[in-house]
Amino acid sequence: MTAPVPARVWITRTQPGAGRTAERLRELGLTPVIAPLLAVEALAPPLPNLDRFAALVFTSPNGVDAYAALTARRDHLVLTVGDATADAAQGIGFTHIRSASGDLTALTRLIAAEPPAGPILAAVAETPVGDLSDAVRAAGGQALIETLSVYRTVPVTPPALPTVEAILIHSPRAARLVAALDRTTLAASLIACISPAAAAPLADLNLAIAVAEAPNEQSLLKSLQEALGNREQPV
């Protein structure tokens, strides 16, 4: 009997994260197809006086990488949205790191509950997912947060749209780009989303969608495996 062909999974996220995701998919016995719909462009804004800030906030590994290119200072307390971002911060030399281990909501709760002793500098995307200052105030916090745009993501068009059994969505912006694709490209594919926010742009398209229980890649890949397994069950 011929062995089943491993499911092909389209990774839509930016590099270098797409490469890390591909390795995890291979470990699970799946076939990764790297075709990012977004690319990262680092920005070079003038840095404020870093001595004014008691802490830094990073909401993605992309922000960590872009900030690292702007300054060699690594002595601040760092607050991160999740563990992957915390690992990225540790990888460039920060030692005092607190991870919210979740999404933007979890990060705002962390800041509100454990505010640093002074203003915060948030190194974020040019178009952030949400207003961190407003979210912290809504959570009951009083932290003073100044944002610094250190990178942007721009849409890119793959040379050809891959034929796959599943598509991974790591962000709402990637989901909006996927939603704009030809419906026949999507109809036969399971779409696994890292969070409800990432799934929202696809909600009205009548597609097979799996949403991770927690907003991290471990949970995303677990939901992908479970949904693929359910699809393979006889009806």
Cα-only R_g, the chain: 19
Q: Tokens 């992309």 belong to which residue?
A: 62
Residue 3 has a pLDDT of 47
Distance between CA atoms of residues 149 and 121, nearest Å: 10
Distances in Å between the Cα of 38 and the Cα atoms of 67, 96, 208 are: 19, 31, 23
Residue 36 has a pLDDT of 94
Residue 1 has a pLDDT of 39
Tokens representing 114 are 């454990």
Alpha helices in the chain (DSSP H): 17-27, 61-68, 83-91, 104-113, 132-138, 172-179, 183-187, 196-199, 217-232
Read off the pTM: 0.83
Distance between CA atoms of residues 57 and 120, nearest Å: 7
Task: Express each pLDDT in 102-113 by its tens digit.
Answer: 888 889 999 988
Nearest residue to 108 via CA among 122, 125, 97: 122
Work out the average pLDDT over 29-44.
94
Question: What residues are paired with 130 via a beta bridge?
Answer: none
Task: Express each pLDDT in 8-21 by its tens digit.
Answer: 999 999 988 899 99
Beta strand pairing call for 145-155 and 166-169: unpaired
Report the share of the chain in percent with pLDDT over 90. Answer: 64
Nearest residue to 111 via CA among 58, 157, 65: 58
Nearest residue to 170 via CA among 114, 211, 121: 211
Task: Express each pLDDT in 152-196 by its tens digit.
Answer: 999 998 878 888 999 999 989 899 999 998 877 788 889 999 999
Edge-first strand listing for the sheet containing 97-99: 38-42, 145-155, 120-125, 55-58, 77-80, 97-99
Distance between CA atoms of residues 152 and 190, nearest Å: 28
Helix count and strand count (H, E) for the chain: 9, 11
Q: Tokens 């008691």 belong to which residue?
A: 54
